[in-house]
Amino acid sequence: MRSRCRSYAAGAALWLGAAAAARAQAPGSAPVTNAFGDPASSWAHILRHTALTGFWILFPLIAIAEVLLVYVIFKFRRRPGRKPATFHENPGLEIFWTVVPLLAVLVVGLLSHGPLHFYDETPPPDLNVMVVGHRFFWEYRYPDYGIDFANKDLVVPAGRNVDLQITSVDVIHGFYVPSLGIQMDAVPGRITHAWFNAQAGHYEGQCAQLCGPLHGEMWISVDVIPPAQFAAWLQANASPAPAAAPAQPAAPAGAKPASPAAPARPRPAGLAKEGL
């Protein structure tokens, strides 16, 4: 039994080591953080506080139940020369372990109502970004600035409300950035919403839905930079305004005016397949 436990522990250690090594070898990789260890957005802080509060309310009940279970298993087990206990039913105890957990769950539900309502009410955004999932990369569109790129870091300003409109062109993806407290599905033909207000830093995540053979390499990188630096980034990356069309020479007297040509529709950069 002891050797089997050692084998399981060694296998788990090898698996975790291989996963960490594979992640470290990924190009441009950085530690994938989470909302419980180092929350970086206002919502992630609220999420952490609410989850830990609920955990400490429910943990004593779970611990008591498990301790009692272990005690009963060893105390009333069958032994040589003694039959196992056969008693059952204890109305008072059954009422206790039904009512107390129910009250605990109600308290956790009430504590969660405020944060859920807070996140559901999207504040006026300072920046709108459309996130489009592809197999197997992310595309980011800044509609107010004519910026469209794919397979690069999402760049947003620190201390500003960023509204994400998330969708997909092929299969269901999951936009998941733990430190920002964001996990939202990207569904073809639908637009889901998420928002955050984060402090400056670099944060990573990955697709949270199994979307195909390269799902494990569908990383997400978010650069949150100071507003002044973000303004300079916008100026460097924004699409230039279209040049004015040259003046047409006057048509001869009596000539039929030509119909104006339809303007060409630009194709967004970095897209191999346009589905929206």
Query: What does pTM read for this prediction?
Result: 0.66
pLDDT of amino acid 160: 94
Q: How far apart are the first and last CA of the chain?
A: 58
The strand pairing partners of 201, in sequence order, are 224
* Tokens encoding 228: 């002044």
The superfamily CATH assigns to domain 18-80+88-239 is Cupredoxins -  blue copper proteins (2.60.40.420)
Contact (Cβ atoms closer than 8 angstroms) between residue 176 and residue 208: yes
Given a contact cutoff of 8 angstroms between Cβ atoms, the answer to whether 193 and 166 are in contact is yes
Chunk the chain into consecutive blocks of 10 residues (it has 276) and report each block's average pLDDT, rounded to whole numbers.
45 43 45 64 84 89 90 81 75 87 89 80 90 95 93 94 95 93 93 93 93 92 95 86 54 52 41 42
Domain residues of the chain, as ranges? 18-80+88-239
